[in-house]
Amino acid sequence: MGRITFNGIMLLMILQIFLVATTTGDETCESDRIMEEQCRIHTYKTVKPLLDYFRQVRNEIEQSETKEKLISDLMEKYHEIVKIHETFKKEAALLNEYKNKVIKGENDLQLCQNKVDKSESDINSQQNIILKLEKQLTDKSTNLENCQVQLKSLNSTLIEKDENIKRLSENIKSNKEHQKTLELELEKSKSIIIKHENDIQLCRLENNKLNRTSENIREEQKNIQLKLKDCETKLSQSALDKLTPTTCLPFGDYSGVHQLNVSGIGLFNVLCDSQLAGPGWIVIQQRVGGNENFTRDWATFRKGFGSFESDFFLGLEKLHRITSLQRFELYTHLVDEDDNTYNARYDGFKISDEDNGYALNLGKFNGTNYEEGMRYHENMKFSTFDHDNDKVDNGNCAVWGKSGWWYNHCSNCNLNAPYGSLYCWNYGFILLKEVKMLIRPKEAMKK
């Protein structure tokens, strides 16, 4: 009986150890819910043979008297269970270590993900900066190309101005020589006039003598008188041709319509003005009432049109012929809608010949602040709706401006524009109601 009790106690101890091992295994498995099911399956497979064995032992103890051997076997099994328990503890420790490594890996992975996100943000920011820099580089490249084009244009303009200076110098020299020739011709004409006056006096004396003769000679006298009148007419016309002025200077302070005689054109009327800026000015263009249409073709602007009492344009060919004789200055007189007056002088006004498009030259400026408006058109050829000489690639500025003018890329100062939209500007827009353009020889300033 005591032996059976001992065996029972030993069996209870073994069962308790089994339960402790099972509980430890459960706690280890519960530390990681993800592997809980796997731990239970593993524990069941491990313990199931022991349970079967315990059932068999219990049956053998109840049925057999050789229980000491069974106890010995149970002790061996006990030691095996202890070893299994130790193994479970090690595996639990390894499982916890693995779980910590997994958690640490997840944290490291999150840090890496944050770094990747920050790197992507930095890359996007850098890409935006690169795009912006590329745009700025493109804009600067475009500006550089524009500057190169402007520099080329300025170089071309400088070369053209050098050529103009050279040509003007030659013209001055030629004009001086022409002036000397005219002075010599004038002296010669005076001598001829004196001689013809003497001849006329002799003719008159001869006529007086003939009057004293008989009636038979009177018929011949009439013929001589007719010849004498014809001679006087021819002499007067010859002298007039040589003495008729080419500018308004000889008329002094007498404003109004006078007759000039210019080589290549002959006699023609001009409007002289001595009120606006002193004596000797030829009015070449006038806008005072809007009674004249300035939307004209090339031939009309070449010849000139309008009325001296209202609006008129003297004519491009006359301007060319007049300004080719000597150096002229240009005076512009503008009145805006508020009756403010603007004046300007240019000391080298000249119009080229028709083959060169009646191009405009101005010279140096002296006057009020709309200079740049006129300067914008210097060296430009004249344009009309049937002669496009502007710098606009597509279209004709004369059609857009509804008038003939020295257009560049259209105009900053169009004094031939339709009345009511006359304008001139450099830094500010000036709407005009009255315009006059006048010229006179530069030499008049020295007198």
Number of residues in the chain:
447
**Rounded Cα distance, 47 and 53, in Å:** 10
Residue 234 has pLDDT above 50, yes or no: no
Phi, psi of 408 (to 5 degrees): -105, -110
Query: Of the segments 42-46, 131-135, 299-303, which one has the largest average pLDDT value?
Result: 299-303
User: What are the tens digits of pLDDT across the range 278-296?
Assistant: 999 999 999 998 899 999 9
55-69 as b/e: b if 16+ CB within 10 A? eebeeebeeeeebee
Give the pLDDT score at 153: 75
More confident residue, 429 or 235: 429
Rg (Cα) of the chain, in Å, rounded? 60
275 token code pair:
């009120």
The DSSP call for residue 355 is G
The pLDDT tens digits of the residues spanning 167-201 come to 777 767 766 776 676 677 667 666 676 766 676 76
Which of 100-109, 126-135, 214-223 is predicted with the least confidence, judged by mean pLDDT?
Answer: 214-223
Give the pLDDT mean for 382-408.
95
User: What pLDDT was estimated at residue 190?
Assistant: 67
C-alpha pair distances (Å), 76 with each of 72, 73, 80, 122, 231: 6, 5, 6, 68, 172
Q: What is the number of other CB atoms lying within 10 angstroms of the CB of residue 367?
A: 14
CA max distance for the chain: 215
pLDDT given at position 317: 97
* CA count, 13 A, side-chain hemisphere, 239: 15
Q: Give the pLDDT score at 154.
A: 74
Domain ranges of the chain: 2-119, 157-243, 249-446
User: If you average pLDDT over each of 32-46, 154-168, 392-406, 418-432, which comes out highest?
Assistant: 392-406
pLDDT tens-digit map of 414-442: 999 999 888 787 556 788 899 999 999 98
pLDDT digits (tens, 9 = 90+) for 349-360: 999 999 999 999
Interval 115-138: pLDDT, tens: 888 888 888 888 888 888 888 878
Q: What are phi and psi of 393, to 5 degrees?
A: -70, -45
Which of the two residues, 377 and 181, has the higher pLDDT score?
A: 377
Query: What pLDDT is stored for residue 357 in this prediction?
Result: 97
**Per-residue pLDDT for 443 more than 50?**
yes
Residue 241 has pLDDT above 50, yes or no: no
Q: For position 165, what pLDDT does the model report?
A: 78
Give strand ranges (E) for 200-252: none
Distance CA 351, CA 346 (A): 13
Mean pLDDT for 73-83 is: 81
Give the pLDDT score at 4: 47
Cα–Cα distance for residue pair 190/195, rounded to 1 Å:
8
- With a CB cutoff of 8 Å and minimum separation 6, the contacts of 295 are 385, 402, 403, 418
Percent of the chain with pLDDT strictly greater than 90: 34
Taking residue 128's Cβ as centre, other Cβ atoms within 10 Å add up to 10
Pick the more confident residue, 114 or 311.
311
Q: Name the token pair of 165.
A: 């200076």
Summary mean pLDDT of the chain? 79
Write out the DSSP string of 92-139: HHHHHHHHHHHHHHHHHHHHHHHHHHHHHHHHHHHHHHHHHHHHHHHH
Q: What confidence category does residue 8 fall into, taking pLDDT thresholds of 50, 70 and 90?
A: low
Write down the pTM of the prediction: 0.48
C-beta atoms surrounding 387 within 10 Å: 19
H or E element, residue 344: strand 341-351
pLDDT band per the 50, 70, 90 thresholds, residue 14: low
Instruction: Cite the beta strand spans of 96-241 per DSSP E.
Output: none
Write the class of the CATH domain 249-446.
alpha beta
pLDDT > 50? residue 332: yes
Q: What is the pLDDT of residue 47?
A: 65
pLDDT of 95 over the 70 cut: yes
How many Cβ atoms are within 10 Å of 443's Cβ, its own excluded? 16
pLDDT at 297: 97
pLDDT confidence bin for 236, thresholds 50/70/90: very low
